[in-house]
Amino acid sequence: MILNTMLVVLTDLAAHLLGNISFRRHFHLMLSATLLFGPVLSLWVSQHSVFAKRSHFLYRMFLRSGWGWTCIFVGSFVFLLSFCTRRSFSLSFRHLSRLGVAGGLWFAFRKLLDILENATGSCYEPLPGSPEINNSQPLLVLREGESKAECLRAGMLWRGYEVSEDVFLLCLCCLLLAEETAVFGPYLSLGGFSDAPLRILFLFCVLLLSLWLFLLLCLLAYFPQFPTQLLGGALGCLSWRGLYQGWYCQSPCWYCPGKPGLGILKN
């Protein structure tokens, strides 16, 4: 009884925050400010922290498979919410198709970014026993004809025009989570059915959103690469704007899944 009461209170508070109109209108601005000023945190954080190592558990467990975690929890929440409300598989799959579109966009951009980096980059081999330049890096010898995969496999360095795929993915997932979970607040205020499994899934989505924001701050603070991370974040924000504030605002049809909550919330 106590656990159920705590679950209801926590989910009601989180749903009220995420469903708030001001929060939804300004969340992307907060994310943009984080991208702009997050690298400043590198002046205060300790490089001896556990989060300053790429081998940390959170990076290995969640960052490398961030899209999978997002699909599992958001997809389960969206399906359960839509199916419990209307008992319609077609409506549920239409709402789930938004995840498929976002996943296809993410995959396409990953391939394009790899092509861009391969086309604009070069492979360099550190010269053994050479003096360091500015006490930071040894002399590098250019190796012609090497692809990025071959270069890294041989233990050499690749220098090219990069866009941070990690920051791109985290920004896209954060904005997608905020959009898909925002309907739960209006849904509850209209007296929608909300049992424990649905509330637990919603709470997991909120925790996942908090984790993505935390990992984004860690990347900006401990591994600052201002131009590449800013470009990755801008690409994630533009993808969200093109989908959720452009394409999905059209009336639902065979080529458009519609906005979150459409056909679920009762007027």
Domain ranges of the chain: 51-121+163-267, 122-159
Percent residues over pLDDT 70 in the chain: 92
**Residue 187, C-beta contacts closer than 8 angstroms, at least 6 positions apart:** 15, 81, 85, 194, 261, 264, 265
Residue 24's CB is within 10 A of a number of other CB atoms, namely 14
Residue 139, pLDDT score? 57
Exposed e or buried b per residue across 145-165, where buried means at least 16 C-beta atoms within 10 angstroms of its C-beta: ebeeeebeeeebebeeebbbb
Query: Given the structure tokens 């590449």, which residue do they identify?
Result: 228
Token pair in block for residue 266: 């009762």
Tens digit of each residue's pLDDT (9 = 90 or more) over 83-117: 988 888 899 999 999 999 999 999 999 999 888 88
**Does 75 or 192 have the greater pLDDT score?**
75
Sign of CA dihedral 37, 182, 239, 92: positive
In degrees and rounded to multiples of 5, residue 253 shows phi and psi of: -155, -165
Residue 1's CB is within 10 A of a number of other CB atoms, namely 5
Residue 208, pLDDT score? 97
Token pair in block for residue 222: 């401990």
Residue 132, pLDDT score? 47
Tens digit of each residue's pLDDT (9 = 90 or more) over 55-74: 889 999 999 899 999 999 99
Distance of CA 221 to the CA centre of its chain: 17
